[in-house]
Amino acid sequence: MTSQATAPERMARRQLSDRAFAWLLISPAILFIGLIVVWPLIETIRLSFTDATLGGESWVGLKNYADLFASSKFWATVGRTFYWMFLSVSLKLVMGLIGATLLNAAIPGKALFRVLVMPPWVIPVAIGVIGWKWMYNGYFGLISGLLQEFGLVEERVALLATKTSAFYSAIVTDVWVGTPMVTLFFLAAMQGVSKDLYEAAWVDGAGRWYRFRRITIPQIMPVIVSMALLSAIWTFNSFEIIWILTEGGPRGATTTLIIDTYKVAISSQRFGEGAARAVVIVVLLATFSLFYLWFLNRVNRHYGAK
């Protein structure tokens, strides 16, 4: 570094090391992800071709996959997982949209209401789910009690004990966990919509519903669409909620792919077979995401967003 160098020259010299500097800056992140995500992922793929257990492992080729694809139970689980994802995400989006619209209304008390939306989001997921597990129980749970009180059921109902009710109970809890975050993101997006648009429409005599449909929704569409993707991925991989409520039961009614993977790989310690399931999850999610991003791209172009 000669002190004679002029400022622009100095900047030019720095430009040259841009690459090195940038890689230096992101290297800790890359190391971390490499060690905790990429390497385990490669290992998972390798393990999926073995019959690894605690005892040892040997190469079995595609056997794990062949077994999986031949099993009707597995396809039922795949179907259930997608159904779980679509239903839960749709409900979260609808709830989020309703919630954000309500919280966005110009009424006294809205600051307080916004605070009251947050609790399910800022506590450990597992704690909230423990609360739900209590409410679903048949002997003294709140929901069974209420249903009886209103005369909707004769006897106490153990919601987590029968297949259909257990599945939809898990959905309700998942929606409960996911709704606050979706609501707050939608609210944030709604507040970002330019007031001028609403005023122009209002001057032209557009009603509230029309403004909502033709201004709010299109304006926040990019946020809705990206939130939907994130939410879909999280819901697909949602583990704690189902595990604490039902551990995948009764008789497999709430077993999604992630629960199945955990059971096989960790509970029964059949690492090879578990790894094959994990790989299937990754492939399914990657395919789904790519398709979705393509769709997102089209939506963004359609609505003229950046």
Q: Is 295 in the site for another protein (CB under 8 A)?
A: no
Dist. CA 194–CA 119, nearest whole Å: 29
Contact between 146 and another protein by CB under 8 A: the answer reads: yes
The Cα–Cα gap between 278 and 7 comes to: 54
Q: Which of 173, 182, 180 is nearest to 127 (CA)?
A: 173
Cβ of residue 218: shortest distance to another protein, in angstroms?
Answer: 14
Residues 40-99 that bind another protein (CB under 8 A): 40-41, 43-44, 47, 95, 98-99
Q: Of 165 and 305, which has the nearer Cβ to another protein? A: 305
Part in contact with another protein (CB under 8 A); list of ranges 60-68, 73-81, 105-113, 162-170: 105-113
Which residue, 217 or 230, has its beta carbon nearer to another protein? 230
- Closest to another protein by CB, 63 vs 156, is 156
Residue with tokens 């310690």: 269
Of 222, 242, 223, nearest to 234 (Cα)? 242
- Decide: is 289 part of the binding site for another protein (CB under 8 A): yes
| Residue 144 in contact with another protein, rule: CB under 8 A | yes
Q: How far apart are CA 154 and CA 195, in angstroms?
A: 53
**Of the listed pieces 55-63, 86-94, 161-169, 261-269, which binds another protein according to CB under 8 A?**
261-269
Q: Are 115 and 103 in contact (CB under 8 A)?
A: no
The one among 16, 70, 107, 152 contacting another protein by CB under 8 A: 107
59 phi and psi, to 5 degrees?
Answer: -70, 125
Could you say which residues in the range 110-129 bind another protein, by CB under 8 A? Answer: 113-128
Residues 82, 97: contact at Cβ < 8 Å? no
Q: Is 59 helix (H, G, I), strand (E, B) or coil?
A: strand
Q: Minimum CB separation from another protein for residue 10, in Å? A: 7
- Is residue 240 within the footprint of another protein (CB under 8 A)? yes
By the 8 A CB rule, do 258 and 75 touch? no
- The Cα–Cα gap between 250 and 164 comes to 9
Q: Interface with another protein by CB under 8 A: which range of 55-63, 66-74, 81-89, 190-198? A: 190-198
Cβ proximity to another protein, 72 vs 108, nearer residue: 108
Smallest gap from residue 223 Cβ to another protein (A): 6
Looking at beta carbons only, is 66 or 123 nearer to another protein?
A: 123
28 binds another protein (CB under 8 A): yes
Triad 265, 270, 275: Cα angle to 5°: 55
